């Protein structure tokens, strides 16, 4: 994204009343702007969409047929504690609001929806969710990888370390570095291997182990493919 460009935020709207759902879509995409809306008419449908692609924001009705809003929210929170959620309700019910707060929900709007109130809520929400926060979290992820580079590292390992969903962590690599997790890991392993080959007299199999490769043969195959020469040749000619 170029400097000055506004990032298009993805919003998942969960509402069983079609007229309200479509009204929110128009309000968010055309009136407020800067958003693309995915619609779901039930908690079950929304959960399936959420698993496929994490949105920047969820706006959900609290009372729906089938899976109600609070059940949906509890399942969302099992996947990600980070995605912000706004609750909509036609009922000024304190118990619902109090239960929602247990899931980290701070925004609770009553129907009929006041477009000014909704716009202000979203503006404050995304202002609070700064790039700085994301960068700080991502720095923690990169530090973990650096610390454990000689070990096996999976997205699940990292996700457990930072209390996030593995899919979301994978998306962070694309958004922050424009690389996949696997591409980044390979790049860092080879970077370490090159440094060890240049600066130490360690045997190739020791370099492989310290760079996170259990199999020296696999290490040599990857190294040759990515660098264009064998580890021994790299040590001799660099």
**What residues form DSSP beta bridges with 10?**
36
Same domain, 168 and 219: yes
Q: Are strands 57-61 and 9-14 parallel, antiparallel or unpaired?
A: parallel
Same domain, 28 and 62: yes
Number of C-beta neighbours around residue 51 at 10 A = 13
Q: Which domain holds residue 93?
A: 9-128
Same domain, 40 and 109: yes
**How many domains is the chain built from?**
2
Number of C-beta neighbours around residue 88 at 10 A = 23
- Classify residue 3: in a domain, yes or no: no
Same domain, 136 and 116: no
Span 117-164, pLDDT tens digits: 888 888 777 765 557 566 777 888 999 999 999 999 999 999 888 877
pTM comes to 0.54
Give the closest residue to 211 by CA, choosing from 198, 237, 179: 198
The radius of gyration of the chain from alpha carbons, rounded to an integer in Å, stands at 23
Same domain, 85 and 163: no
- Classify residue 41: in a domain, yes or no: yes
pLDDT beneath 70, residues of the chain: 1-7, 91-94, 97, 127-130, 132-134
Would you put residue 66 in left (φ > 0), alpha (ψ -120 to 50) or beta? left
Q: Which run of H or E residues covers position 135? A: helix 131-147
The pLDDT score that the predictor gives to residue 5 is 42
Max distance between CA atoms of the chain, in angstroms, equals: 74
The tokens describing 162, both together, are 């930072």
Burial (Cβ within 10 Å: 0-12, 13-18, ≥19) of residue 171: middle
The pLDDT score that the predictor gives to residue 133 is 60
- End-to-end CA distance of the chain, in Å? 36
How many angstroms separate the CA atoms of 77 and 103, rounded? 7
The tokens describing 81, both together, are 């504690």
């Amino acid at each position: 994204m170029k400097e000055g460009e506004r990032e298009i935020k993805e919003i998942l709207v969960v509402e069983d009343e079609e007229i309200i759902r479509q009204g929110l879509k128009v309000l968010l995409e055309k009136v407020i702007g800067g958003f693309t809306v995915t619609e779901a008419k039930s908690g079950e449908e929304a959960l399936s969409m959420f698993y496929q692609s994490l949105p920047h924001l969820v706006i959900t009705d609290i009372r729906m047929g089938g899976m109600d809003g609070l059940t949906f929210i509890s399942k969302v929170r099992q996947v990600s504690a980070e995605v912000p959620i706004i609750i909509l309700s036609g009922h000024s019910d304190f118990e619902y609001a109090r239960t929602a707060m247990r899931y980290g929900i701070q925004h609770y709007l009553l129907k009929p929806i006041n477009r000014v109130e909704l716009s202000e809520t979203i503006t404050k929400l995304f202002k609070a969710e700064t790039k700085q926060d994301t960068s700080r979290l991502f720095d923690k992820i990169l530090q973990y990888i650096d610390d454990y580079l000689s070990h096996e590292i999976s997205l699940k390992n990292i996700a457990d370390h930072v209390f996030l969903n593995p899919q979301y962590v994978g998306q962070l690599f694309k958004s922050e570095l424009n690389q996949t997790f696997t591409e980044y890991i390979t790049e860092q392993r080879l970077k370490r291997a090159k440094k060890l080959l240049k600066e130490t007299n360690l045997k190739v199999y020791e370099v492989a182990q310290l760079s996170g490769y259990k199999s020296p043969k696999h290490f040599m195959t990857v190294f040759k493919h990515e660098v264009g020469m064998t580890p021994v040749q790299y040590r001799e000619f660099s």
